[in-house]
Amino acid sequence: MQANWLEALVRLLDEAQRVFVFTGAGISTRSNIPDFRGPQGIYKDRSPVYFQEFVASEASRREYWAFKLEGYGAFRDAQPNAAHHALVTLEKLRKLNLLATQNVDGLHQAAGTSHERLVELHGSNRSVECLECGRQESPERCMKEFEASGEPPKCIACGGWMKPAVVMFGQGLDMGRLRKAQACSRAADLVLALGSSLVVTPASDLPLAGVQAGAKYVIINQGATPQDRLATLRIEGDVVDYLAAAVARL
């Protein structure tokens, strides 16, 4: 960890009053959550199931539920790490304007980030939902039923198909969540992009809204991003190490 980068990050955080935070998979890998799009990401070896395929095809529903069951243990047992807790501290210091995450692991919520300050742009693996009636429940029943039978689970209320409550490929983001995040980014005086490759739009455009409105911009990531040239401070490294150390010094 480079001391000059850390000092610069501490200074920017100390000066900021309205911080917009955008997080990606890199903040959760230390919690044993697999990366999807990084150099060793899951999608290097397998193709995602699209929402339209899930709706139309029994085989695609089985494939998607098998994929979710494969990673279920890691998501179920994962615990927030020091970076997740540092962002909770940032909220307690009344500096956090909003935390918008691409992640579906639920670790920000588990760490204690408040509902009012958190937008899960891509939903959460910590619940499943019915495509017909919208009923939500925890994943345990559906995972157990699929593991036992190999048949995609159905809603106990209406018989509709159940699906993890995440945004699949080919499925649009919730526009209410997106608009809230855009507004908070534009109102920020500091934007932090943490552990994101910043390539998945429209989510990755959110930090730019703040930058275009005049906010300072910090990117912490392992690997280059297409927004690096816009950063006030670009740190190549592990989010957990830098963020936890910087917030501890505020």
**Residue 84 a catalytic site member:** no
| Side-chain half-sphere CA neighbours of 42 within 13 A | 13
Token couple for 161:
């198909």
Catalytic position from the list 84, 85, 108, 122: 122
Candidates 75, 99, 102; CA nearest to 173 is: 102
What is the rounded radius of gyration, in angstroms, for the C-alpha atoms of the chain?
19
Helices 82-92 and 239-248, packing angle to 10 deg = 30
In sequence order, what are the residues at sequence separation of 6 or more whose Cβ sits closer than 8 angstroms to the Cβ of residue 178?
121, 202, 203, 206
Q: How far is CA 164 from CA 56, 76, 108, 142, 219, in A?
A: 16, 13, 18, 9, 30
Residues 68 and 144: beta-carbon distance below 8 Å: no
Nearest-angstrom CA–CA distance, 71 and 198:
24
Residues 194 and 102: beta-carbon distance below 8 Å: no
Nearest-angstrom CA–CA distance, 45 and 17:
42
DSSP letter (8 states) at residue 169:
B
Residue positions annotated with a catalytic role: 122
